[in-house]
Amino acid sequence: MQKTQRTTIKRVPQRANYDLPTIHKIIDEAYVCSLGFQNEDSVHVIPTVHWRIGNTLYIHGATKSRLIHCAISQSVCINITLLDGLVLARSAFHHSMNYRSLNIYGRGFQVVDAEKEDVLTTFVEKITPERIGEIRMMNKQELKATTVVGFNIEEAVAKIRTGPPVDDKEDYALPVWAGVIPLRLQQGEPVEDK
């Protein structure tokens, strides 16, 4: 992916990554993205579920929501962050986190007709693979109340931090534990709705 003015990382630029497979992997692993947009006199950031088909990221929402309206009518910024670990250093200043984050810039387009149903089916399969054959699909009224927006991934950058803390040389002599506490999203035991 080509670097643009908006995707140029200025702070710790060696953590920038423009590799499309890396970008796709972050999208696929995460369940939630946040969209930043301007509405009237305010800027908003709203989290929402997302999924990917090919080089397009999709979201969905109520047809009348401001998020959906703004995602189609203006350029937005989509952020995804995966937290991989807490980085505990020997000094307060060097504490950090290991993460994989991603910003995508662009204007969305509305997905309609049969493609809309196909894209929503992919969404359900991302959340729970092989569930499509067991559930009732959306009826006409539900489909009408739902808008699906796609974003072609043409302007994006990932920023990734990995590894141990980076302490000042003199701090390595301190009798303080330092290292990484790994973090991950994990599914628990299902709780049945009765």
Digit-coded pLDDT (tens) for 10-66: 999 999 999 999 999 999 999 999 999 998 889 999 999 999 999 999 999 999 999
The pLDDT of residue 131: 86
In a domain, 186, yes or no: no
Q: Residue 130 — very low, low, confident or very high, per pLDDT cuts 50/70/90?
A: confident
In a domain, 61, yes or no: yes
Q: Residue 129 — very low, low, confident or very high, per pLDDT cuts 50/70/90?
A: confident
In a domain, 84, yes or no: yes
Distances (CA, A) of 164 to 12, 13, 86, 179: 16, 18, 9, 6
Q: Are strands 179-182 and 32-39 parallel, antiparallel or unpaired?
A: unpaired
Number of neighbouring beta carbons within 10 Å of residue 15? 16
29: CATH: 2.30.110.10
**What percentage of the chain exceeds 90 in pLDDT?**
90
Q: Which helix (H) or strand (E) holds 131?
A: none
Strand partners, 82: 100
Domain holding 93, by residue range, is: 13-162
In a domain, 1, yes or no: no
In a domain, 178, yes or no: no
In a domain, 190, yes or no: no
The pLDDT of residue 22: 98
d(CA 119, CA 150): 9
The pLDDT of residue 172: 96
Model confidence pTM above 0.85: yes
Query: Per the structure, how many domains does the chain have?
Result: 1
The pLDDT of residue 133: 87
132-188 pLDDT, tens digit per residue, is 889 998 999 999 999 999 999 999 999 999 999 999 999 999 999 999 999 999 989
* Helices within the chain (DSSP H only): 20-29, 66-73, 113-127, 140-145
In a domain, 4, yes or no: no
In a domain, 155, yes or no: yes
